[in-house]
């Protein structure tokens, strides 16, 4: 039955948690859990979703993302907007195929030092960022950056050396 499921949309419901069995959906490539009331993703959530390319968990009540999110090696899009996140896990740097990171409207105070070099779109608007990591210069594929509505007092020179950035 479910083990061959590739796409699953459970968005805009009243879910508060997910069963541990989610990690058994080994064929899942697209998962939308946006617009629920989920406070945490189950342990082992990332371990079983080895071919997941798109994860949308925006509009929930997540305070943290799984520390092992870096196991989602096929992830191309990660949407965690409108949650209660204060940080992104360091293991996010292992998402070598990640092209789109949407983490707007959280309470994130700093971005990880080593974001994946594959990122082309980064929306970190409406957070509590006070500075940007100088390692942003490593994001050579970055084309779209939104850092509006934060607490930034200056923009590092590194941002101006991003040649693919569209203004």
Ramachandran angles phi, psi of 56, nearest 5°: -115, 110
What pTM value is reported for the model? 0.95
Chain segment 91-141, per-residue pLDDT in tens: 999 999 999 999 999 999 999 999 999 999 999 999 999 999 989 999 999
Per-residue CA distances from 159 to 57, 86, 145, 154, 165 (Å): 28, 23, 10, 11, 9
Chain segment 26-82, per-residue pLDDT in tens: 999 999 999 999 999 987 889 989 999 999 999 999 999 999 999 999 999 999 999
Alpha carbon 160 to its chain centroid, in Å, reads 24
């Amino acid at each position: 039955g479910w083990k061959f499921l590739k796409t699953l949309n459970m968005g805009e419901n009243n879910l508060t948690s997910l069963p541990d069995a989610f990690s058994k959906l080994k064929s899942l490539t697209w998962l939308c859990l946006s617009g629920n009331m989920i406070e945490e993703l189950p342990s082992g959530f990332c371990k079983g979703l080895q071919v997941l390319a798109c994860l949308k968990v925006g509009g929930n009540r997540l305070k943290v993302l799984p520390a092992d999110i870096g196991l989602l090696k096929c992830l191309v899009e990660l949407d965690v907007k409108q949650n209660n996140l204060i940080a992104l896990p360091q293991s996010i740097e292992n998402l070598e195929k990640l092209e789109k990171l949407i983490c707007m409207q959280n309470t994130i105070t700093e971005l990880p030092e080593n974001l994946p070099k594959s990122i082309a779109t980064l929306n970190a608007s409406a957070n509590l960022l006070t500075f940007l990591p100088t390692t942003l210069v490593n994001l050579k594929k970055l084309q779209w950056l939104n850092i509006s509505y934060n607490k930034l007092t200056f923009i590092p020179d590194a941002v101006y050396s991003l040649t693919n950035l569209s203004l």
